[in-house]
């Protein structure tokens, strides 16, 4: 028999409360990580700064629940501040991955939509939004073992239900070396604890579940997504695969000629956009009609020593002019 817990308004977070009728108490056969300290609630006064657009409202930030190749952990800080400085009613993230930017934002506008053409990614967010309790129940006895990692790697995800598929994706993504998405290998380091620890992971997943309330999740190719959600008040954030790493997320998703296709579509946008990418001469050429802000970010993979890499923020659209951007960056400053 598993662990039973009462989920009542006193014990549960708001993500659970929304499923309960007033006064209702649920008893579930599930290990619920409710004892962990929740992150401090956001106070509106903490979040309203000179630069913040008032049509957005405070929201509790969350952390990505698994490492992800190309995840924006380092640059997210500056990207989020730039986003907060630009007026928008719809935030539309085209290549969301594990949500390194989306989840860390502490303000949200009227509407939000996230997208990833990789079915595993879109599916895991959908399951977290709608079937969170069932997912936790499925994963609660999982331990970090090389055998389980190898067993799950061999399974064709197309043969699984969406719930099983989400659990498999989370397990592999947590335990794979370097947050790799394809060609994964089992990641171990003598100095760190097991990568799949449901007692710690549960808290992260609950926060993501709560953050996803009201968010639309799409699984479209970038061009269809942009076409569908482009309005005068849309702000797109785009984090496409790095130049040179177009196939890092699986075959047939993205190819080198897609950068030019993207640039052409962005040049006719009704809304505004911010795009982050590695700073390469080929990228500067493809996006030469737009403005750039340059950064240097330090990354290390596994035990490899940290290296510095140049990154670009590309921006543009109907009202995101160089003057407007400079006014925003002057007030906000650089990376930290």
Ligand X SMILES: C[S@@+](CC[C@H](N)C(=O)[O-])C[C@H]1O[C@@H](n2cnc3c(N)ncnc32)[C@H](O)[C@@H]1O
The residue written with tokens 């100095």 in the block is 191
Interface of this chain with ligand X, residues 222 to 261, rule: CB under 6 A: 222, 239-241, 249, 253-254
Task: Please state, in angstroms and rounded to a whole number, the distance separating the CA atoms of residues 96 and 273.
Answer: 14
Among 70, 271, 316, 317, binds ligand X (CB under 6 A): 70
Minimum distance from residue 121 beta carbon to ligand X (Å)? 5
Is residue 108 within 8 A of residue 57, CB to CB? The reply is yes
Minimum distance from residue 224 beta carbon to ligand X (Å)? 8
Lay out the site mask for ligand X across 18-57 (x = CB under 6 A, - = otherwise). Answer: ----------------------------------------
Among 32, 65, 68, 292, binds ligand X (CB under 6 A): 68
If the CB atoms of residues 125 and 222 are measured against ligand X, the closer one turns out to be: 222
Minimum distance from residue 245 beta carbon to ligand X (Å)? 8
Closest CA to 91 of 238, 203, 280: 238
Minimum distance from residue 51 beta carbon to ligand X (Å)? 22
CB-side exposure of 30: number of CA atoms within 13 Å? Answer: 18
Q: Tokens standing for 34?
A: 């409710």
Lay out the site mask for ligand X across 137-166 (x = CB under 6 A, - = otherwise). Answer: ------------------------------
If the CB atoms of residues 254 and 290 are measured against ligand X, the closer one turns out to be: 254
Is residue 102 within 8 A of residue 281, CB to CB? The reply is no
Among 66, 84, 98, 138, binds ligand X (CB under 6 A): 98
Task: Please state, in angstroms and rounded to a whole number, the distance separating the CA atoms of residues 319 and 323.
Answer: 10
Torsion of CA 49, 53, 56, 62, to 10 degrees: -50
The one segment of 65-73, 130-138, 160-168, 289-297 that binds ligand X by CB under 6 A: 65-73
If the CB atoms of residues 127 and 253 are measured against ligand X, the closer one turns out to be: 253
Task: Please state, in angstroms and rounded to a whole number, the distance separating the CA atoms of residues 15 and 37.
Answer: 15
If the CB atoms of residues 206 and 239 are measured against ligand X, the closer one turns out to be: 239
**How many residues interact with ligand X (rule CB under 6 A)?**
22
Lay out the site mask for ligand X across 100-139 (x = CB under 6 A, - = otherwise). Answer: xx--------------xxx--x------------------
Task: Please state, in angstroms and rounded to a whole number, the distance separating the CA atoms of residues 272 and 112.
Answer: 15
Minimum distance from residue 117 beta carbon to ligand X (Å)? 3
If the CB atoms of residues 117 and 259 are measured against ligand X, the closer one turns out to be: 117
If the CB atoms of residues 30 and 59 are measured against ligand X, the closer one turns out to be: 59
If the CB atoms of residues 71 and 109 are measured against ligand X, the closer one turns out to be: 71
The contact set with ligand X (CB under 6 A) reads 68, 70-72, 95, 97-101, 116-118, 121, 221-222, 239-241, 249, 253-254
């Amino acid at each position: 028999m598993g662990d039973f817990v009462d989920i009542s308004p006193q014990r549960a977070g708001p993500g659970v409360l929304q499923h309960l009728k007033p006064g209702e108490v649920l008893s579930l056969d599930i290990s619920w990580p409710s004892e962990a300290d929740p992150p401090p609630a956001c106070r509106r006064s903490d979040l309203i700064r000179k630069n913040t657009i008032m049509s957005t409202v405070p929201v509790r930030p969350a952390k990505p629940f698994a490492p992800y190749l190309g995840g924006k952990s380092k640059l997210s800080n500056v990207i989020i501040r730039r986003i907060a400085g630009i007026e928008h009613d719809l935030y539309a993230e085209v290549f969301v991955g594990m949500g390194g930017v989306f989840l860390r934002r502490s303000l949200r506008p009227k509407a939000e939509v996230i997208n990833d053409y990789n079915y595993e990614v879109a599916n895991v967010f959908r399951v977290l939004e709608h079937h969170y309790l069932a997912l936790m129940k499925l994963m609660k006895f999982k331990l970090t073992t090389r055998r389980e990692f190898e067993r799950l790697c061999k399974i064709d995800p197309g043969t699984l239900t969406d719930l099983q598929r989400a659990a498999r994706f989370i397990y592999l993504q947590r335990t794979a070396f370097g947050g790799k998405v394809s060609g994964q290998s089992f990641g171990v380091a003598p100095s760190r604890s097991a990568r799949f620890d449901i007692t710690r992971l549960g808290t992260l997943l609950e926060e993501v579940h709560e953050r996803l309330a009201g968010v639309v999740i799409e699984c479209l190719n970038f061009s269809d997504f942009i076409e569908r959600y482009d309005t005068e008040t849309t702000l797109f954030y785009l984090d496409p695969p790095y130049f040179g790493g177009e196939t890092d997320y699986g075959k047939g998703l993205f190819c080198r000629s897609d950068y030019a296709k993207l640039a052409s579509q962005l040049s006719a946008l009704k809304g505004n956009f911010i795009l982050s990418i590695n700073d390469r001469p080929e990228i500067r050429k493809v996006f030469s009609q737009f403005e750039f802000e340059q950064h240097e970010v330090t990354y290390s993979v596994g035990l490899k020593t940290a290296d510095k890499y140049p990154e670009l923020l590309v921006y543009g659209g109907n009202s995101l002019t160089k003057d407007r951007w400079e006014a925003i960056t002057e007030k906000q400053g650089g990376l930290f």
